[in-house]
Amino acid sequence: MNWLWCRFGELGVDNLYDALALRCRVFILEQGAYLDPDGVDRQSWHLLGRDEADTLQAYLRVVDPGVKYSEPSIGRVITSPEARGKGIGRKLFAEGVGRCEAAWPGQGIRIGAQAHLERLYASYGFVRVGEPYLEDNIPHLEMVKAA
């Protein structure tokens, strides 16, 4: 997997298009309608994972501290349907955590996780804080990884 880590303004038209197309395909077509462009992309880092054929297979964004939470926040974590079951999602998330720790040493990381993925995120050191809540009609949990 070839990783690209960049700010919104550095994505370029093709990377932006591919990222939004994958997000639409997974988050809207698979999970139900909601407004994906939430005004936060411009204040985020973006991590794109492309395969050897240069096809986007994985994506996440890291929202700057102070925008959503006091900590940096990983979100919009997705892999393409074709990439699932190959461990790419785990590699993507580990890469995202590593990038956060390098960019903001000594800070924790906060996520709004889909509730059914709690064990997965716990395997990276995230612990649940607060009560479950609905976001776009999907049960979510707030989770934090301590610094």
- pTM value is 0.92
Average of per-residue pLDDT across 53-79? 96
Structure tokens at 106: 């000594």
141 in any annotated domain: no
Contact 45, 4 (CB under 8 A): no
Q: Tell me the pLDDT tens digit for each residue of 13-50.
A: 999 999 999 999 888 777 777 777 888 999 999 999 99
pLDDT of residue 33: 74
pLDDT of residue 89: 95
Structure tokens at 46: 């973006």
70 in any annotated domain: yes
**CA-to-CA distance for 114 and 125, rounded, in angstroms?**
16
97 in any annotated domain: yes
126 in any annotated domain: no
Token pair 């699932």 is found at 84
- What CATH number is attached to the domain comprising 87? 3.40.630.30
> Which among 78, 7, 19 has a CA at the least distance from the CA of 44?
7
92 in any annotated domain: yes
73 in any annotated domain: yes
| 138 has a pLDDT exceeding 90 | no
32 in any annotated domain: yes
Which residues lie below 8 Å from residue 50, measured CB to CB, with a gap of 6+? 1, 2, 4, 56, 57
Q: Which of 5-19, 32-46, 60-74, 86-100 has the lowest mean pLDDT?
A: 32-46
115 in any annotated domain: no
Contact 110, 73 (CB under 8 A): yes
- Counted domains in the chain: 1
Residue 86: give the domain boundaries: 2-104
